[in-house]
Structure 1
């Protein structure tokens, strides 16, 4: 068995679960085995990006867990950061034009 942690941070709370999974378990299977989906019914684990210690894993269905891994479940972005910056810059440019 391999000891790992599964972490998810919702808007209103955070959960960290210690889990023991069989050697050779994939990240996605370990997250599903953790039972964290029961605490967050809106969470669709099959679609969520996963990472280990802050680094996104490109294929969590293939990557095997290592002892001590902290698997993080990432929420989808509500807004594209590039789009938000573009809109903010456009708003600032309009304000400058109006003040001129």
Structure 2
């Protein structure tokens, strides 16, 4: 490992499958670049590769506003977030309707 290199982890999960990939990066590597280095599209061929290129990212559960410019620190865990299947407000409204009628 080069003197200015360190390891981070990139995480992605589906309901039935999860992966955590260790990636060696350098001090100026961004979160988005680390996701590209993790090559998640090869581990999740059922997901379009553009998902990983555009998905919202976070570090240890904290969403990143600018993943293209957020540089990493040793030990960071970059999380790739899946798009929501349903808007949370719509889901709450549907639950409330079901409870009111049942």
Give the paired residue count.
95
Q: Runs of at least 4 residues of structure 1 off by over 2 A?
A: 90-95
1:44-76 CA distance string (max 9 Å, x none): 212211000011101100000111000001111
Q: Hey, what does 2:57 align to over in structure 1?
A: 50
Q: TM-score, normalised by structure 2?
A: 0.85
> What stretches of structure 1 of length at least 5 have no aligned partner?
96-100
> What stretches of structure 2 of length at least 5 have no aligned partner?
none
- RMSD of the TM alignment (CA)? 1.3
Decide which structure has the larger Cα Rg and report it: 1
- Say whether the 8 Å CA contact 2:10–2:78 is kept in structure 1: yes
Give 1:90 shift. 2.2
